[in-house]
Amino acid sequence: ILHTGITVEIVARLAGLPMSTAWECAELLTQARILTPPDPANRQPDDGDLVFVHPLIATAVYDSILPSVRTAFHGVAATVVTESGRGPAAASRHLIEVLPDGEPELVEQLRAAATEHLAVGAPEAARRCLERALQEPPRPDVRVRVLYELGCATLLTAPAKTVEYLRSALAEPGLDNAERVNAVFRLSQALLHNDQSDEAIRTVDAEIARLDSGPARMRLQAVRYMWDTIHVGEELPPAHSEALARLAETCRGRDNSERALLILRGYDAMTRGENAEVVAEHCDRALVNGRLAPGLGWTDTEWGIELLLLLAVAYAYADRLDRAEGLCTEALRTYESAGWSGGHLALAHAHVGLIHRLRGRLKEAETFLRQSLVLAERVGRGLPLYWSATCNLVDTLLVRGHIQEAWEVAEQYNFAPPYPSTIVMPEPRSVRGRLLLAVGRTKEGINELEAAEKATAARGHYNTVSATWGGALARALANEDPRRAAELAATVRRRAERFGTDTAIGEALRLEASLATGKQAASLYAKAVTYLEASPAAYEHAAARVEYGIATRSTSELQRGLTLAESCGADGLVDRAREAIARLV
């Protein structure tokens, strides 16, 4: 009944035995090799944990007890464990075995146990407690809160169940205004992660319509902008960004609603390819002394993980990788130390992997992204968080030069249309198009890159670093349609210069150089190397060095590029550099 690792005193109380008799029984069971020896040196109440020699023995003994007797003993055990000071969570494994009998006290004990389980990162245990509380059943005024708590407990571990519980909670009376707004936010969050973005937006709109002006309404308006930003199901007109920009201009970061709007403005500016200084300015204003504001931490639930990931990604693609890495590393450390799992941990691993990829630490990126996929599969295949890990892993394998491995990952994890209804960074059609080109399916690759061009234009996403279709398409068309290739390269350069980061400009120059010949190519490569050397993008710098060395037949440049490529783990680029050096020697 008590399972294992418990004291002789607790067993004695459950069995109704004097302590001396209980110790004699424990010694006999030890001699029979059923239990491991307790510590008899000091027979105080808290000394001597009893442990079964093998779990199969415990199971056999447990199964031999009549079900009705087991249930009765679990009821007594719950009381004994609670009175021993072990807390509601320890008692909960007994409480969930007790037959439902409409006991309000038991419902409260189970709710308390669920709170303890969540605090140590055990959402499944919390869910079992709350589901058992529903069976009791609780009083009507308590039932709605149990449903709400169930929705919170299953968030990002079982999005579909979260939707079910929170919809039920919102359909019943009893939540106060603050709880209702929280429930609406979490319901919309779960819908988004269940790939139901349209429904998430409708849910928020309906609640905004019933609220008067005030902090709650402003919070949901910010959430509406956030889901609009993340949702890719429809075109995003320029009016959206213009309205967000006007609203953000009134914000000074006085509260978290204002900080949320500043983050969203910074992220929107990044995706649209506005100047990176504008991106950084808005993101910086959302921080307090360079750190996340109270109430906006990684485990805080008022705004959720999505807003902070948008902040990290905005910094990352604006070449502020130190700040982005600090945020993502903090997220991973926080979730691991708190015991959080499911979608939160999967997304943290994916975004740490993204930062490593952008820095050119390709081996480390692959490690984190593969772990993210393992965690994401436990939540559910095909969900948006699953796409984030898959897309970044394929991208990382491509730049490592592991083409066949990238293709196998894409096939294994269905990295192909239809794409999710939420935004993924880097842009997934661009990555798949590059993959198709790499495996020799040129026509399909060009079609996919042209689809990426249309999709990003519909959303106003002109950032050439996060949506890489332009460079890939220009290179693919270089021979069959050089005029269009040159036009695409010029567009990429113009947008990169507007964005203004060293990475964006350096990559645009490298693209133009790849389409040029002779002295013009060498000059463009030299400029690309200068910009990329100043950027945090080590892989792109290495690629530019190698290509510059090939264009100028410079062994020293090739050797520098080779050294950089080796440090990045870019095996394909390493081979290319070595082959070029061998041809020159």
Q: What is the 3-state secondary structure (H, E, C) of 315-350?
A: HHHCCCHHHHHHHHHHHHHHHHHHCCCHHHHHHHHH
Residues with Cβ within 8 Å of 527's Cβ and at least 6 positions away in sequence, in order, are 509
What is the Cα–Cα distance from 274 to 230, expressed in whole angstroms? 18
290 CB-near residues (< 8 Å, 6+ apart): 284
Contacts of 360 (CB under 8 A, 6+ apart): 537, 538, 539, 540, 541, 542, 567, 568, 570
**Cis amide leading into 418 (omega within 30):** yes
**Which value, to the nearest 10 degrees, does the dihedral of the CA atoms of residues 171, 176, 177, 183 take?**
-50
Q: What is the pLDDT of residue 40?
A: 53
Strand pairing category for 6-7 and 49-50: antiparallel
Report CA dihedral (585, 506, 365, 303) to the nearest 10 degrees: 180
Q: Classify the phi-psi angles of 85: left when phi > 0, otherwise alpha if psi is within -120 to 50, otherwise beta.
A: left
* Beta bridge pairs of residue 422: 231
* Residues 133/146, Cβ–Cβ less than 8 Å: yes
**CA atoms of 17 and 388, how far apart (whole Å):** 58
Rounded-to-integer distance, Cα 10 and Cα 7, Å: 5
Which stretches of the chain drop beneath a pLDDT of 50? Answer: 42-47
Burial 331-360 (b: 16+ CB within 10 A, else e): bbeebeebebbbbbbbbbbbbbbbbbbbbb
Question: What's phi and psi for 346, nearest 5 deg?
Answer: -60, -45
Locate 263 and state its tokens: 């983050």
Residues paired with residue 52 on neighbouring β-strands, in sequence order: 35
Tell me what pLDDT residue 38 has: 59
pLDDT on residue 94: 79
pTM for the whole structure: 0.81
Q: Kindly list the distances between the CA atom of residue 238 and the CA atoms of 220, 235, 272, 340, in Å, as whole numbers in the listed order.
A: 21, 10, 10, 38
Q: Is 467 helix (H, G, I), strand (E, B) or coil?
A: coil
